[in-house]
């Protein structure tokens, strides 16, 4: 097993590429010096002096120790790939879960466009598919996916097709791919990579989260997400929504003060931009938040709203699509 860390390899690499005549004789360089006796400390042990021959020796010893070339370091790979280069597969930045996503396919897609055995598993047994990101992307192309629903909570991901949807949203749900946002055993890294790779001109990314500051912030920060799923009553009759028993948790809202500060900052900035736009020509490339989304965020703060996805299902709340931007 390699005895030097990823950070120490990067430390050597930075110095070697710049051919620094001396480096600070800090704890990391002292450990390397004790290990290989390469370089010459000054009398005060403040700096370690290195020659061209020293750097050649450092490169050689680092390769013997780690299996990696300090002049061509690349840690952005899965552990399986790193194991072909080094005895320390944990040098890899990509954890075992970071190249995988958890998805579901709508029954309409499964029955119409997927081979029978797979369609049976996905529809009759409500199966999820754990796929490599590249495979999920290829499946999007193969099935001509146009809508990708990113779901915050795992149990809501599992039960998505049991929710009630407004007719226009139901048509989207019937022909979508569902993607779990990721947490705990399912790394969010895979979801982030997939969203980075999908073409937003072809695939519409839609967020489905809790209706609270944290959930709205999640939807707002998902890459290429321009709309989110919310209870229809929140848009059309919020007083009726709050009149339902055991639906809202103000205590949970108060625990999300950082997320609320983020959303409140967006509202304040949007109001300032609106005032400025009355006296200047708006920039066409700037994303402008929709008035309906801004009104929803203000309502969250005014009434201390935290309505979870699980309660939306328990109360059979009809869900509707809300555009985040104009």
* Final residue before a domain boundary, out of 34, 60, 91: 91
Q: Is residue 81 part of a domain?
A: yes
* Final residue before a domain boundary, out of 91, 118, 150: 91
pLDDT of residue 32: 95
Report the greatest alpha carbon distance in the chain: 79
Residues 61 and 57: their CA atoms lie apart, in Å, by: 6
Residue 13's φ and ψ, nearest 5 degrees, are -60, -45
Q: Is residue 250 part of a domain?
A: yes
- Reported in sequence order, the residue ranges of the chain that DSSP labels E, i.e. its strands, are 22-24, 40-41, 47-49, 100-105, 129-132, 147-151, 164-165, 177-180, 204-208, 225-231, 318-323
Q: Is residue 277 part of a domain?
A: no
Contact 238, 299 (CB under 8 A): yes
Q: Is residue 59 part of a domain?
A: yes
pLDDT of residue 296: 97
pLDDT of residue 278: 58
Residues 110 and 132: their CA atoms lie apart, in Å, by: 19
Query: Using alpha carbons only, how large is the chain's radius of gyration in Å?
Result: 26
* Structural domain range at position 12: 6-91
Query: Which own/partner pairs from 32-39 qualify as long-range (CB within 8 Å, at least 24 positions apart)?
Result: 32/4, 32/8, 32/58, 35/3, 35/4, 36/61
* Final residue before a domain boundary, out of 192, 208, 224: 208
pLDDT in tens, 132-169: 999 999 999 988 999 999 999 999 999 999 999 999 99
| Same structural domain, 225 and 262 | yes
DSSP string for 57-85: HHHHHHHHHHS--GGG----SBHHHHTTT
Q: Is residue 278 part of a domain?
A: no
pLDDT of residue 199: 95
Total number of domains in the chain: 3
Supply the mean pLDDT for the chain.
90
Please give the average pLDDT of every successive group of 10 residues along the chain, which has 326 residues.
85 96 96 95 94 96 95 90 91 83 84 59 74 93 93 96 95 94 87 94 97 97 97 97 96 96 94 66 70 97 97 97 96
| Same structural domain, 10 and 122 | no
pLDDT of residue 110: 59
Q: Is residue 36 part of a domain?
A: yes
pLDDT of residue 185: 78
| Same structural domain, 239 and 188 | no
Q: Is residue 167 part of a domain?
A: no
Q: Which pTM does this prediction carry? A: 0.78
Q: Is residue 243 part of a domain?
A: yes
pLDDT of residue 230: 98
| Same structural domain, 202 and 226 | no
pLDDT of residue 78: 82
Tokens 């309409």, residue located: 108
């Amino acid at each position: 097993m390699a005895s030097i860390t990823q950070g120490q390899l990067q430390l050597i690499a930075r110095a070697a590429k710049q051919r620094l005549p001396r480096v600070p004789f800090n704890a990391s360089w002292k450990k390397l010096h004790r290990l290989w006796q390469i370089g010459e400390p000054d009398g005060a042990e403040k700096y370690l002096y290195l020659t061209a021959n020293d750097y050649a020796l450092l490169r050689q010893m680092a390769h013997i120790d780690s299996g990696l070339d300090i002049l061509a370091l690349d840690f952005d790979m899965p552990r399986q790939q790193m194991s072909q280069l080094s005895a320390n597969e944990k040098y890899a930045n990509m954890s075992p879960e970071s190249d995988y996503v958890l998805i579901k396919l709508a029954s309409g897609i499964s029955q119409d466009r997927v081979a029978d055995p797979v369609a049976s598993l996905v529809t009759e047994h409500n199966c999820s598919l754990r796929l490599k990101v590249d495979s999920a992307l290829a499946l999007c192309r193969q099935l001509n996916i146009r809508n990708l629903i990113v779901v915050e909570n795992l149990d809501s991901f599992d039960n998505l097709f049991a929710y009630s949807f407004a007719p226009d949203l139901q048509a989207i749900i019937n022909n979508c791919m569902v993607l779990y946002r990721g947490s705990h055993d399912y790394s969010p890294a895979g979801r982030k990579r997939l969203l980075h790779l999908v073409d937003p001109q072809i695939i519409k990314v839609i967020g489905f989260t809790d209706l609270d500051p944290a959930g709205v912030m999640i939807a707002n920060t998902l890459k290429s997400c321009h709309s989110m799923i919310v209870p229809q009553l929140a848009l059309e009759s919020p007083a009726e929504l709050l009149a339902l028993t055991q639906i809202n948790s103000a205590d949970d809202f108060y625990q999300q003060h950082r997320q609320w500060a983020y959303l409140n900052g967006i509202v304040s900035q949007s109001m300032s931009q609106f005032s400025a736009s009355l006296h200047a020509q708006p920039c066409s490339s700037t994303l402008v938040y929709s008035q309906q989304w801004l009104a929803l965020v203000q309502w969250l703060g005014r009434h201390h709203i935290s309505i979870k996805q699980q309660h939306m299902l328990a109360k059979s709340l009809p869900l509707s699509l809300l555009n985040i931007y104009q």
